[in-house]
Amino acid sequence: MQEHDIQCWSLYLLRREDGGLYTGITTDVERRFEAHRSGKGARCLRGKALAGIAFAIELGSRSLATRVEYRVKKLAKRDKEALIDQACSKSEILSFLGLED
């Protein structure tokens, strides 16, 4: 496998018009956002207006992205907002979540 064939996975948080947040992972944040907006994304977002991408960060492997997503989904909304406000780096987010790269 060549280096350009390896997919880089990202964590993203979408802000709904009602202020809620949705957390997910993907290899293409813009494409995934458009899928959610068109109703072809997560079922829980269907019929919900999206304000935009609140936060996105490249994490690398799918394994790491999945672990980060799992932990972020368990966070209280105020903690998710703190991640967004602080524009955490990869190392900061991993440290905050108690994960290693």
pLDDT tens, position by position, 50-82? 788 999 999 999 999 999 999 999 999 999 999
The structural domain count of the chain equals 1
Looking up residue 78, the CATH number of its domain turns out to be 3.40.1440
Alpha-carbon distance of 21 to 3, in angstroms, equals 33
Q: Quote the pLDDT of residue 94.
A: 93
Tell me how many helices (H) and strands (E) the chain has.
4, 3
Average pLDDT over residues 16-41: 86
pLDDT band at 44 (very low <50, low <70, confident <90, very high): low
Domain span at 41:
3-97
